[in-house]
Homo-oligomer: A and B are copies of this chain.
Amino acid sequence: MGGVVVEDSSTTNENCLSCSNGTTITTPLNLDVGDPLLFEPYWKKMGDKCRVVIEGNDFMSYGFDPKSVCSFIHPELKDAIKRIHCLVGNAVIDDKYIVVGTGSTQLFQASWFALSPSDSSNPINVISAAPYYSAYPDAAGFLRSGIYHWGGDAKLYDKDEPYIEIVTSPNNPDGTIRGPVVRSKSEGKLVHDFAYYWPQYTPITHKADHDVMLFTFSKCTGHAGSRIGWAIVKDIEVAKKMTHFLYLSSVGASKESQIRAAKILGVLCDSYQNLGSQPFFEYGKCLMRERWEKLREVFEKSNVFTLAKYPKAYCKFTNETSETYPGRGASRTKQSVT
């Protein structure tokens, strides 16, 4: 099973899906990296509503706000994050703590650090059900940490040791809707990676309400270059420990990116109040559906691969029944390829 990048690559001319005789993929698909430039035209069309102006003396401070559990977060970003989750209804955010990081990549490492036992002499096992996001094992292992290490496929986990299970839903790379899979007597903690739990990718079936939930600006709106992610955290001590990780690893996240993310998320929410604007998620969903239909057409003509099918569900946000259109998808081999 392999991931298929359906994110836009028009600027690079890589990942070009070219078929002859209806069956042969002549250029390899890049299975590892995708740039979410798909939504760029929407933000261009929004014109000066999205413009951010930064003066020479703005945001010079490190930004410690002793009143906030996460001392680096810009209050405007915090408000924008609350507003978008209230609009979409994909996560319970009341009475929770918001922690901002340099993308969700930094945040999932912060969550592993925060959830690991402080008194253990052995690293805790970080696990996820296969197929999992290819960055998890590398991120868990590259520093050979004594606090956490990669423990493999959650479906095969049978150690009598504590673990942290990452639940990615919709999953990267295969787009499946997931819950935890480990049933063990050992102490387990969960991190929910909701990078793709937005209406353009999947029906919003419920308000998620877990201990640690990760979201990222790059998948929500497509602004990957900003490197902004956020965690919604139930327990204050976990939020404080995550903040401590972010302080030690980079003294927080860029203020320019934070203020820009606040602006873009605000314009996104406004698009549901201004009748003249095209609502973002409807635009995004339309685009994703179109891409997937085109891709499906190509795959249907193929003698080698088929695309995975995703079940339909009722989306409480769009008020319609639809299927998941993952940022990346799964293909299966019809016959052996030499």
Contacts and interface: CB of A to CB of B under 8 A. Distances in A.
Contacts of A138: 248
A88 interface: no
B61 A55 contact: no
A227 B252 contact: yes
Contacts of A113: 142-143
A142 B245 contact: yes
Interface stretch (A42-50, A162-170, A192-200, A202-210): A42-50
A144 interface: yes
Contact of A250 (B41, B46, B106, B223): B106
Contacts of A252: 227
Interface string A23-34: 000000000010
A82 to B, nearest CB: 21
B254 A224 contact: no
B225 A63 contact: yes
A278 interface: no
A245 B35 CA distance: 20
A58 to B, nearest CB: 8
Q: How many copies does the complex hold?
A: 2
Nearest to A252: B227
Interface stretch (A256-264, A285-293, A295-303): A256-264
Contact of A60 (B36, B61, B102, B143): B36
Contacts of A277: none
B251 A254 contact: no
A24 B55 CA distance: 40
A321 interface: no
Interface string A253-275: 11111001000100100000000
A71 to B, nearest CB: 10
Contact of A147 (B46, B56, B103, B144): B144
Give the 4 A-B CB pairs with smallest separation, nearest first. A50-B56, A144-B146, A254-B254, A43-B56
7 contacts: A62-B225, A102-B227, A102-B253, A109-B249, A113-B142, A144-B146, A225-B254
Given A33-B64, A250-B250, 13 more contacts: A33-B62, A43-B55, A43-B57, A51-B56, A62-B225, A142-B245, A143-B146, A144-B146, A145-B145, A146-B146, A224-B251, A225-B254, A256-B257
